[in-house]
Chains A and B, each alone.
Chain A
Amino acid sequence: MARGYKYFEAIEKRAGLLGVLIAIMVSLGGLAEITPLYFTAHSIKAPAGVKPYDALRLAGKDVYVREGCYLCHSQMIRSLRAETQRYGNYSIAGESMYDRPFQWGSKRTGPDLARIGGKYSDVWQELHLKAPRSVSPDSNMPGYPWLSQASIDPVEITQKLRVLRLLGDPYTDGDIAGAAAAVKGRTEMQALIAYLQGLGIKNEAAAAAGDPAEGPAP
């Protein structure tokens, strides 16, 4: 037996020591990679034009999240030529700073949506969401016709804005007071289209000036 084994044997025969060492070893990577991001995140300034979602768009974003759109559509234009050619300027960190959870996605069964806003009319979006193959015959996207029947809950949206302000998103008292009125009588379909039509359009200029290599640096 090698001499070092004597010390190692101590770990192999003590469950508590083994457990503590495991906990230390598995914590290092996360601490090194997440902690710096977490603290620099507080110093990110919103790029020009990026504001917290207004009540209707927030409701629409939550419909997008609930339906699981992120499973087939990314919202992250990578800094690669083929991507910027197809989808527009590459995405920067500040553009998704109000996304809880983030919607960058991991799979493109359909195209990226980071800058889909304004590319199609509201009518097209509605027809497409209700019955995708009515406007895009080869699409394999499922239809979401039920969104037209469901309406947004004004009480819940007020509560959502309060929670987001608690988490640090800069909503004013006026935003919260006006939230219920802004979504009253609107359907989930209308909210989702409002969200989609806002995606990326305000940020074109800011994104062109930014450098993704610097990420969330101040």
Chain B
Amino acid sequence: MPTAETYNDHVVRLFLLAAAVWGIVGMSVGVYIAAELAWPALNFDIPWLTFSRLRPDHTFGVIFAFGGSALMGCCYYIVQRTGHVRLAFPRLANFTFWGWQTVILMAMISMPLGITQSKEYAEPEWFVDIFLAVVWVSFGVVFFATLARRRIRHIYVANWYFGAFIIAVGLLHIINNLAIPVSLWKSYPIYAGSVDAMVQWWYGHNAVAFFLTAGFLGMMYYFVPRQAQQPLWSYRFSIVNFWALISIYMWAGSHHLMYTALPDWVQSVGMAFSLVLLMPSWGSAANGLLTFNGSWHRLKSDPAAKFMVLALVFYAASTFEGSMMAIKTVNSLTHYTDWTIAHVHSGSIGWVAMITIGSLYAMAPRALGRPAMHSTAAMELHFWMHTVGLLLYVIAMWTAGATEGVMWRATDAHGALKYPFIDSLNAIKPFYAVRWFGGVLVLSGMIVMAWNLWHTAADARARLIKPIPVPIPEPHPIQVPAPLPVPA
């Protein structure tokens, strides 16, 4: 019986499809609301089409729908391969797919209709939150049960990141969303004022840490060595970075609340931990990049590897930027400006989207029973569209943010403020248009990817692919490599 075991790639393929679809949906909404900031008449006075109603659909669409589907698919793919075992609880695994898609639809339909908690990145109302928690716990059960039946005793580091991602996101989601319902459509959080602010940014910052960093680092630690065809540069370094990253991140949330009415000591603790956080962040990025040592020539022929390398470069860049922005003096200039938007998008379009796209290009042919993606030229095109779009976007928003920050604090010779608020808006309007165009390029690249995936999936649609058998390893008493023979 065990020799006939095959990998469960069906659910992986479903998540792959969902990630492609939600990527396009989430980014389309982003492009539309970016256009609204440049040309405000575009809401046509329709409530659900208005920027403030639609913006949560963009953030939820790209983080939880696109990112979440890609993460869950990759997680299922990786935990099976690294443990040499078929996924546990196939029905529950299917439920996590359909459940997650239902959560996404419920959230993305209810939020523009005004059914919202209006807590950033946790907008869906209580009934969606409860269902989300159920799906999340099921996802955790499938993951840890699969881990429990693994045939390789040693747990590969990618799974550590997925484990931390699942545990921490569950914890954050439940604690941040504690609320008392008024009706089906409205609830009040149990926290108020400054406590709510601290809880919200503890959540908000760690949604970045565990959803957008730990989960995607899990992807990175599997697919980067796979694509570089070399072992990880340093396994021990990855372990040190893991514990540092997951414990330090949780302290850093208060850097979103500098100079506010939050107690000063919490702000200072947040700043200190944010600076320390640079070390495990750069450690992880360096570990990934150094893994390519000796196989840099692959970048010439493999666009997936190119996506991964640029993702790691942007991971290093945006974590450096984040630590700098957490310094109170810097924060006093950048906070509340479009610099924040530049930072979050260099992290999300640069790091998160690029490592996801690289991993999808690496995983899709294997999960779809093909030797390679349908078109390498299309992957190449996607890479350049994405990169140029990303650069236009972040450079426009950096410039806009610095402009706002400087104009808001500028004073004349008498000490009076130099500019009324509207002047700063007028100064950055051209950058809003450039940002929109950058977004259009990134979105177009995603459409190219969807086209490529569709053609790569031709065999899968015709039900021609054969499930991949699980390699059953010989039992091994000790998996620590034997010491090298001593020369006589």
**Least Cβ–Cβ distance between B63 and chain A, in angstroms:** 15
Chain A 107-143, CB-CB to B under 8 Å as 1, else 0, gives 1111100000000000000000000110010111111
Q: Is A209 an interface residue (CB 8 A)?
A: no
A-facing residues in B221-269 (Cβ within 8 Å): 239, 243, 246-254, 256-264, 266, 269
Which B residues are in CB contact (< 8 Å) with A22? Answer: 160, 163-164, 167-168, 246
Docked CA distance A78–B336 (Å):
11
- Asked if A86 contacts B417 (CB within 8 A), the reply is yes
Asked if A176 CB lies within 8 Å of chain B CBs, one says no
Per the bound structure, the CA–CA distance linking A138 and B421 in Å amounts to 11
Interface pair B425/A34, CB less than 8 Å apart? no
The residue in chain B whose Cβ has the minimal distance to the Cβ of A145 is B45
- Verify if B193 is at the interface (C-beta below 8 Å from A): yes
- CB-CB under 8 A for A93 and B144, given A68-B116, A82-B409, A156-B183: no
CB distance from A168 to the nearest CB of B (A): 8
Q: Output the nearest chain B residue to A92 by Cβ-Cβ distance.
A: B261
Chain A, Cβ-Cβ closest to B38: A140
Are B167's CB and A142's CB within 8 A?
no
- Which of A72, A99, A145, A216 contacts B263 (CB under 8 A)? A216
B372 within 8 A of A: no
> 0/1 per residue, B416-427, Cβ < 8 Å to A?
110001100110
Closest chain B residue to A64 by CB distance? B118
**Is the pair B195, A167 in contact by a Cβ cutoff of 8 Å?**
no
Q: Which of B45, B194, B253 has the most CB of A within 10 A?
A: B194
User: Which residues of A have CB within 8 Å of B153?
Assistant: 13
The closest CB in chain B to the CB of A33 belongs to: B266
Count how many chain B residues have C-beta atoms less than 8 Å from C-beta atoms of the other chain.
98
Our pick among A19, A37, A71, A86 for the contact of B195 (Cβ within 8 Å) is A37
* A69 and B52 contact, CB distance less than 8 A: yes
Tell yes or no: A160 within 8 A of B by CB: yes
- A90 to B261: give the CA distance in the assembly, Å: 8
Which label, helix, strand, loop or mixed, suits the secondary structure of the B interface? Answer: helix
- Interface size for A (C-beta < 8 A) is 89
Which residues of B lie under 8 Å from residue A80 when comparing CB positions? 259, 332, 409
Is B388 an interface residue, CB under 8 A from the partner? Answer: no
Interface of A is mostly: helix
Given contacts A67-B52, A96-B193, A100-B189, contact A19 B261 (CB under 8 A): no
- Is A205 located at the chain interface by the 8 A CB criterion? no
Q: How far is the CA of A23 from the CA of B404 in the complex (A)?
A: 41
| Closest CB in chain B relative to A62 CB, distance in Å | 7
For residues 27 through 49 of chain B, which have their beta carbon under 8 Å from a beta carbon of chain A?
36-38, 40, 43, 45, 47
Task: Point out the residues of chain B lying under 8 angstroms from A217, CB to CB.
Answer: 263
> Does A163 touch B at the CB level, under 8 Å?
yes
Q: Which of B175, B247, B264, B416 contacts A29 (CB 8 A)?
A: B247
Which B residues touch A163, using CB under 8 A?
A: 180-182, 188
Contacts of A172 in B (CB 8 A): none
Given contacts A99-B193, A145-B45, A65 and B118 within 8 Å (CB-CB): yes
CA distance A12 to B238 in the complex (A): 13
Residues of the A chain whose Cβ atoms lie less than 8 Å from the Cβ of B422: 136, 138-139
Minimum CB–CB distance from A187 to chain B (whole Å) comes to 15
Most chain A beta carbons < 10 A, residue from B155, B188, B199: B188
Q: Pull 6 A–B residue pairs with CB atoms less than 8 Å apart, ordered by A.
A: A93-B263, A98-B193, A100-B191, A132-B40, A215-B262, A215-B266
Give me the interface of A with B, judged by CB distance under 8 Å: 1, 5, 8-9, 12-13, 15-16, 18-19, 22-23, 25-30, 32-34, 37-38, 41, 44, 62, 65-72, 74, 76, 78-80, 82, 85-86, 90-102, 104-111, 132-133, 136, 138-146, 156, 159-160, 163-164, 166-167, 169, 212-217
* In the complex, the 5 A-B pairs of residues with the closest C-beta atoms, listed nearest first: A29-B250, A215-B263, A68-B52, A29-B251, A78-B259
